[in-house]
Amino acid sequence: MRLKISKHVLGIVGSPRRQGNTDLLVEEILRGVKDAGGTTSKVLLDVMDIRPCKGCFACEKTGVCVQNDDMAELIEQMKASQVWVLGTPIYWWGPSAQIKAFIDRWVSISREHFRGKRVVLAIPMGGGAESYARHTVGMFRDIFDYLGIQHIATVLAPGFGRKGEVKTAHSIMEEARQAGKKATA
C-alpha cells in the first residue's frame, strides 16, 4: 500500500477588500483543494505588516531580510506549503500594491524554496475583458519561469468590480473549484 501524503495549499489574498472578489475566488479554489483531500490555510496580506523592499540587498549577504515584520512568518508558511494560490485584483492593468510588496520581498528567499512549487493565480477585474489582466499575468509568468515555479492554472474573472459579485458567476466559481482540485492532484 502506498501512503499518499496530502498537500497543503496556502491562499494569499492581495486585495484590500475582505470577502471581495479576490478573497472569494481564493476561497473557492481552496474548497476545491479540500475536495481533493488537501489541507488549506489563507492569509490576507492587507491586514499583515509587510513593508516594501528597501533595496538594501542585505539579504544577499546574510540570507535574511533586515526588516522585522510579518514576512518572516509568511515565508515559513510558504515553505510548508506545496501549492500557493496567489490572488490579486487588477489595478491599473497591474497587481495591487499589497501583493507587489509581498512579491518584492521574495528577493530574500533562497531559490530552492521556489523550485517545483505549484501556483494557481486568481485574478478578478472590473474591466470587462480578460485582456485587462494581460500585463499582470505576463509579469507572473516571467517570475514563475525564472524561479522554476509550476504554473498550474489561472482563474480570471473579468467584469467584476463590485464587492463580492463574482459569487453569482457560477461558471467562474466552478472553474476556481476545479483549479483547486487540479493543483492538489
* Binding residues vs another protein (CB under 8 A): 15-17, 20, 46, 52-56, 89, 91-98, 100-101, 103-104, 106-107, 134-136, 138-139, 142-143, 163
Q: How far is the CB of 67 from another protein (least distance, A)?
A: 11
Which of 45, 96, 106 is CA-nearest to residue 75?
106
Residue number with CB closer to another protein (14 or 32)? 14
Residue number with CB closer to another protein (76 or 142)? 142
> Please, what is the end-to-end C-alpha distance for the chain in angstroms?
18
Q: How far is the CB of 115 from another protein (least distance, A)?
A: 16
Q: How far is the CB of 52 from another protein (least distance, A)?
A: 4
Residue number with CB closer to another protein (17 or 182)? 17
Q: How far is the CB of 17 from another protein (least distance, A)?
A: 5
Q: How far is the CB of 102 from another protein (least distance, A)?
A: 8
Residue number with CB closer to another protein (36 or 133)? 133
Residue number with CB closer to another protein (42 or 139)? 139
